[in-house]
Amino acid sequence: MIRLRELREKRHISQVRLGMDLNMSQNTISRYETGEREAGYKELIAIADYFGVSIDYLLERTDNPQVNQ
């Protein structure tokens, strides 16, 4: 998820910090960012909620980060 890295770096959050905040390992975050591993729906929800963006934005299905409610 390229967008995950972009969001994380934009907010100056390390992989370690993000992993701690989301109860995931730094290695898991790294693998999501490089595409070695795909996040499940629970992880996608947690990441989207953390950054306040839509899952579609994380998955690059849209360029609009806003969550439609």
pLDDT, tens digit (0-9, with 9 covering 90-100), for 44-54: 999 999 999 99
Mean pLDDT of 6-11: 96
Tell me the C-alpha distance between 11 and 39, whole Å: 21
CA 54 to chain centre: 10
Tell me the C-alpha distance between 21 and 15, whole Å: 10
The answer, yes or no, to whether residue 65 has pLDDT greater than 90, is: no
Global pTM value: 0.90
Strand residues in 1-69 grouped as ranges (E): none
pLDDT, tens digit (0-9, with 9 covering 90-100), for 12-25: 999 999 999 999 99
Tell me the C-alpha distance between 55 and 3, whole Å: 10
Tokens representing 12? 């100056």
